[in-house]
C-alpha cells in the first residue's frame, strides 16, 4: 500500500511559513499556468504581498516545439508590475525535468532583468534534467516512471493525484 | 475551383496557408487564439520569441507590395527566423526563369518557408505542390484569388472588437470583383457563422453571381450600410481596372465612398476596416479614416501577430 499523498493546501501553508521573512516586501510573485498559478494565488494571499500577482504562459519558450509543434494555449503571460530590478518569486506546482522552469525564466526575462529570481514549487518528483533547484519546496514525492503526479483544483480546493500514464 | 486540400495534411494539420477557403472554423479559431499570445509579445520589452530559430523564411514577391512584405518580415523576425527578401519582379523572371525554377533554386538554398505573392491566381498552389516535404508555402496574395493572412487578420480584428461572430452584419464595400481580400474575408466570415455578409458596390464591381458565395448583394449604399456592425472598405484598384468599369473615381466616391453621413446609417458602435493602402477621398473620407469608428491602424498591428501565429503553427507541424 503506497503512502497517501500529502494535502496540497497543507503543503502551501508550510511553504508560506518558510518564505515569510525571507521574501522582500516589494517582491513580485508570478505563477506558471495552470497549477503554478493556483499555488501562487494562495502563497500571494498568505504572504500578503503588496504587488499584484503575475501569471506566466510558457508555450512560446518551450523546447519541444521542434518535436511536437506549438501547444494550444489561450492564456497569455501577464505581469502587472515592473520586472526590472525587482526580486521575483517564480511559483510552479510540480518540478519534474526543470524544462518548464527554464522556459518560464526565458519568458520572464522578456519583461525585464530581475534583481533575483527565487523558485518555489509545491512538490518535486525527481528526475531533473537541468541544473534547476527550488529555493522553497513543499514536499518531495517519489513518482514511478509509468506514473504522473497531477494537481487539480476542485471547487477551489487543491488535490494531488497519482495517475498511470496512458 | 482551386485545390485547397493541399494546405491541410491527412492528419488535419496545417501544412501551407493558401486560402481561407477550406479552413475549418476550429482551425481559424486556433490561429486567432495563437495570435492573441503574439499580440502580448508585441507589448513587451523583448518583442521576440525563439520558435523559428534556425529556420529560413524566404519572402518571394513576384508582385510588389512593401507593406505586406514588411509585416511578414517583422513577423518572421519576431519569431527569430532568418528572413530573406526577394523582389523577384525585378530579377530572375525578367531574365526568363520559370516560376518553379526560381523556387527550386531558393529551395537549394535551404528555405524552410516561402511567403509568396504573385499576380497570377494559383501560383502559390503550384509552388506548394512542388516543394520538398517539410517546406511550407504561405500565400501573401495571388491574383484575384486569395489573401488569406489579410482575411485572418480581419477575423482577428472583428473578434477583438465584436467578440461573437454569430450575431453580426458585415458589409464589404467597393471593388469586390478584383479583391482577393474580399474573397478571403467572405470565406472566413461564413465559416465562422456570421449570419449576414453583404457585398456593396456598383454592378460592374459587385456582380450578382457573388450570391453563390452565400452573401447578400447590394447595389445601393444606404441598403448596404443599414444596421451594419462591421464595414470593410476595399481599395479602388485603379491599376487592376481595365476598361471603363466606372465612369470615374469621383463618381464612385460620391455613391460608394464612406462618408460620415453614410456611416451614420450603420450601427452606432460599428467599426470601419480597410486593408490599406487607403485612397483618401475616394473609397473613404478622411474624417472616417481618422475617426472614432476606424480600426484601420489596429488591423496593421494585429496583422503581425496573426502572421506570427500562422508561421509558428505551420513550422511546428513540419516537426
Asked if B46's CB is within 8 angstroms of A109's CB, the reply is yes
Give the model's pLDDT for residue B113.
97
In A, minimum Cα distance to B315 occurs at A69
In which domain, by residue range, is A28 found?
8-164
* CATH 3.40.50.1370 applies to domain B4-146+300-317: yes
Asked if B49's CB is within 8 angstroms of A65's CB, the reply is no
Asked if B50's CB is within 8 angstroms of A72's CB, the reply is no
Give the model's pLDDT for residue B226.
97
* Tens-level pLDDT at each residue, chain A (166 residues): 567 899 999 999 999 999 999 999 899 999 999 999 999 999 999 999 999 999 999 999 988 888 888 888 888 999 999 999 999 999 999 999 999 999 999 999 999 999 999 999 999 998 899 999 999 999 999 998 899 999 999 999 999 999 998 8
In A, minimum Cα distance to B39 occurs at A76
Give the model's pLDDT for residue A124.
97
Q: What is the ipTM of this complex?
A: 0.80
**pTM score of the predicted model:** 0.90
Q: Which residues of A touch B26 (CB under 8 A)?
A: none
B92-116 in b/e form (b: 16+ CB < 10 A) is: beeeeeebeebbeebbeeebbbbbb
Alpha carbon of A11: minimum distance to chain B alpha carbons (Å):
32
CB-based burial label for A4 (10 Å; 0-12, 13-18, 19+): exposed
Q: Which three cell numbers stand for residue B43?
A: 507589448
Residue A1 is assigned to a structural domain of this protein: no
Tell me the fold of B148-296.
Rossmann fold (3.40.50)
Asked if B317's CB is within 8 angstroms of A69's CB, the reply is yes
Question: pLDDT of B121-157, one tens digit each?
Answer: 999 999 999 999 999 999 999 999 999 999 999 999 9
Give the model's pLDDT for residue B132.
94
Question: pLDDT of B48-77, one tens digit each?
Answer: 999 999 999 999 999 888 889 999 999 999
Question: pLDDT of A125-165, one tens digit each?
Answer: 988 999 999 999 999 999 988 999 999 999 999 999 999 98
Residues in chain B with pLDDT < 50? 1
Residue A3 is assigned to a structural domain of this protein: no
Residue A120 is assigned to a structural domain of this protein: yes
Distance CA B6, CA B136 (A): 11
Residue A2 is assigned to a structural domain of this protein: no
Residue A99 is assigned to a structural domain of this protein: yes
The CATH number covering residue A23 comes to: 3.40.50.2020
Alpha carbon of A1: minimum distance to chain B alpha carbons (Å):
42
Domain count, chain A: 1
Give the model's pLDDT for residue A63.
87
Q: Where in chain B is the domain with CATH 3.40.50.1370?
A: 4-146+300-317, 148-296
Give the model's pLDDT for residue B92.
57
- B30, B37, B44: residue with CB nearest A111: B44
The answer, for B44 touching chain A at a CB cutoff of 8 Å, is yes
Residue A112 is assigned to a structural domain of this protein: yes
Amino acid at each position: 500500500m503506497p503512502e497517501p499523498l500529502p494535502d496540497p493546501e497543507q503543503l502551501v501553508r508550510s511553504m508560506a511559513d518558510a518564505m515569510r521573512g525571507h521574501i522582500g516586501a516589494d517582491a513580485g510573485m508570478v505563477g506558471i499556468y495552470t497549477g503554478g498559478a493556483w499555488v501562487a494565488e494562495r502563497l500571494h494571499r498568505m504572504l500578503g504581498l503588496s504587488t499584484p500577482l503575475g501569471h506566466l504562459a510558457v508555450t512560446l519558450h518551450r523546447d519541444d516545439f521542434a518535436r511536437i509543434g506549438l501547444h494550444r494555449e489561450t492564456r497569455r503571460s501577464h505581469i502587472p508590475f515592473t520586472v526590472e530590478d525587482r526580486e521575483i518569486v517564480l511559483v510552479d506546482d510540480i518540478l519534474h525535468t526543470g524544462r518548464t522552469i527554464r522556459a518560464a525564466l526565458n519568458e520572464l526575462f522578456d519583461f525585464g532583468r530581475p534583481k533575483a529570481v527565487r523558485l518555489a514549487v509545491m512538490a518535486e518528483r525527481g528526475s531533473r534534467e537541468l541544473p534547476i533547484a527550488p529555493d522553497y519546496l513543499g514536499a518531495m514525492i517519489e513518482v514511478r516512471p509509468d506514473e504522473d503526479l497531477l494537481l487539480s483544483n476542485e471547487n477551489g480546493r487543491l488535490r494531488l493525484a497519482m495517475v498511470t500514464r496512458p | 475551383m482551386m485545390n485547397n486540400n493541399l494546405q491541410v495534411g491527412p492528419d488535419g494539420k496545417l501544412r501551407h496557408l493558401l486560402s481561407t477557403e477550406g479552413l475549418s472554423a476550429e482551425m481559424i479559431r486556433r490561429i486567432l487564439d495563437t495570435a492573441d499570445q503574439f499580440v502580448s509579445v508585441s507589448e513587451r520589452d523583448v518583442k521576440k520569441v525563439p520558435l523559428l530559430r534556425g529556420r529560413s523564411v524566404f519572402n518571394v514577391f513576384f508582385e510588389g507590395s512593401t507593406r505586406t512584405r514588411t509585416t511578414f518580415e517583422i513577423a518572421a523576425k519576431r519569431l527569430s527566423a532568418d528572413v530573406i527578401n526577394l523582389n523577384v519582379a525585378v530579377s530572375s523572371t525578367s531574365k526568363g526563369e520559370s516560376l518553379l525554377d526560381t523556387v527550386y533554386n531558393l529551395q537549394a538554398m535551404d528555405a524552410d518557408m516561402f511567403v509568396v505573392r504573385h499576380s497570377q491566381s494559383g501560383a502559390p498552389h503550384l509552388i506548394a505542390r512542388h516543394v520538398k516535404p517539410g517546406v511550407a508555402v504561405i500565400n501573401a496574395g495571388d491574383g484575384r484569388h486569395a489573401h488569406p493572412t489579410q482575411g485572418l487578420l480581419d477575423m482577428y480584428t472583428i473578434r477583438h472588437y465584436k467578440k461573437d461572430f454569430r450575431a453580426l452584419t458585415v458589409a464589404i464595400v467597393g471593388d469586390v470583383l478584383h479583391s482577393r481580400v474580399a474573397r478571403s474575408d467572405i470565406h472566413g466570415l461564413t465559416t465562422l457563422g456570421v449570419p449576414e455578409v453583404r457585398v456593396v458596390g456598383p454592378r460592374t464591381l459587385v456582380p450578382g453571381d457573388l450570391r453563390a458565395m452565400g452573401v447578400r448583394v447590394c447595389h445601393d449604399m444606404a441598403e448596404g450600410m443599414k444596421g451594419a456592425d462591421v464595414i470593410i472598405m476595399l481599395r479602388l484598384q485603379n491599376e487592376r481596372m481595365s476598361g471603363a468599369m466606372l465612369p470615374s473615381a469621383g463618381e464612385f466616391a460620391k455613391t460608394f465612398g464612406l462618408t460620415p453621413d453614410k456611416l451614420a446609417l450603420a450601427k452606432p458602435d460599428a467599426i470601419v476596416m480597410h486593408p490599406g493602402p487607403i485612397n483618401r477621398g475616394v473609397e473613404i473620407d478622411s474624417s472616417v479614416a481618422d475617426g472614432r469608428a476606424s480600426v484601420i491602424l489596429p488591423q496593421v498591428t494585429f496583422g503581425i501577430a496573426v502572421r506570427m501565429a500562422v508561421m509558428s503553427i505551420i513550422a511546428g507541424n513540419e516537426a
